[in-house]
Amino acid sequence: MTALIPDGVDLRIIGDVHGDVGAFRYALATDRFVIQLGDLVDHGPDSAAVLSLMLDRQDAGRGLFLLGNHDHRLARALAGTLPRVEGELARTLAQLTPALAARVAAALAAAPLWLRRGDALFVHAGFHTAMLDGPSKPLPPGRPGGVAARALYGEPTGHTQPDGFPERSLRWIDRIPRGLTVYCGHDQRSTDGRPWRKRGAAGGEAVLLDTGAGKGGHLSWIDL
């Protein structure tokens, strides 16, 4: 698979799926080229079916997915480099047949962290100005750092929220240059069920598409 967006195609940008196979199947019912922003797995009822749908779409040349932090954790588990496997990840692994696990491992190893087309940049969690230098390289299944960590995890503050999840800063939005829109997931900021938008100090804009699929919310997408 070549991590490139074909020239001249209309796009459907899909947010975090988290195993919500019914919603994902509905979102894929389009002739548009699909870019899924990462976190295909965990939480929802059928991560294995979601992975199969995405890989079939990708193999047909009609879409691709970016690596999310949950996908990367799955890659580490499949590669044997994750110290502990528990909770949602353990349930995802239990759903994978050996053949699907091998197919998923290969796809995760090749998945891009970010891509750009014109005035749009696509990434799972957060923007870094180094992403403007060109497309990402595949990430080895170890603990990421630098720009790769920003792509997967955003910009954590080091604090924990009352719900137990890491607190995340959105300061990176202020560094998006004028004329560029960054489409990402990971951070569920929407309060009305629609993708959340914010313009930064430098004039660029962020669009966050995680609206809680697989976790009690629904799946969002935007057509470009």
In this prediction, residues 202-219 reach a mean pLDDT of 95
6-15, 34-43, 151-160, 194-203, range with the lowest pLDDT: 151-160
For residue 149, give the nearest of 165, 122, 127 by alpha carbon: 127
In this prediction, residues 113-134 reach a mean pLDDT of 95
In this prediction, residues 37-65 reach a mean pLDDT of 97
87: number of Cβ within 10 Å = 10
Place of tokens 């976190």: 39
Q: Which domains does the chain have, with CATH numbers?
A: 11-223 (3.60.21.10)
**pLDDT tens string 147-190:** 999 999 998 777 777 766 777 889 999 999 999 999 999 999 99
Q: At what angle do helices 98-110 and 69-79 cross, to 10 degrees?
A: 120
97: number of Cβ within 10 Å = 10
Determine the Cα–Cα distance for residues 82 and 80; give it in Å rounded to an integer: 6
**What average pLDDT does the structure give for the chain?**
92
130 Cβ neighbours under 8 A, 6+ residues apart: 146, 147
Query: pLDDT above 70 covers what percent of the chain?
Result: 96
In this prediction, residues 7-28 reach a mean pLDDT of 97
Q: Predicted confidence band at 2 (pLDDT cuts at 50, 70, 90)?
A: very low
Q: What angle do CA 48, 183, 212 make, to 5 degrees?
A: 50
CA dihedral in degrees (109, 167, 185, 55; nearest 10)?
30
67 compared with 144, residue with greater pLDDT: 67
Determine the Cα–Cα distance for residues 219 and 43; give it in Å rounded to an integer: 13
Determine the Cα–Cα distance for residues 154 and 173; give it in Å rounded to an integer: 10
CA dihedral in degrees (221, 54, 155, 222; nearest 10)?
-10
pLDDT(1) > 50:
no
pLDDT of residue 11: 98
Cα dist. 168→52, 148, 189 in Å?
31, 16, 11
In this prediction, residues 13-24 reach a mean pLDDT of 97
pLDDT of residue 145: 81
DSSP state of 119: T
pLDDT of residue 143: 76
CA dihedral in degrees (37, 119, 157, 110; nearest 10)?
40
In this prediction, residues 115-133 reach a mean pLDDT of 96
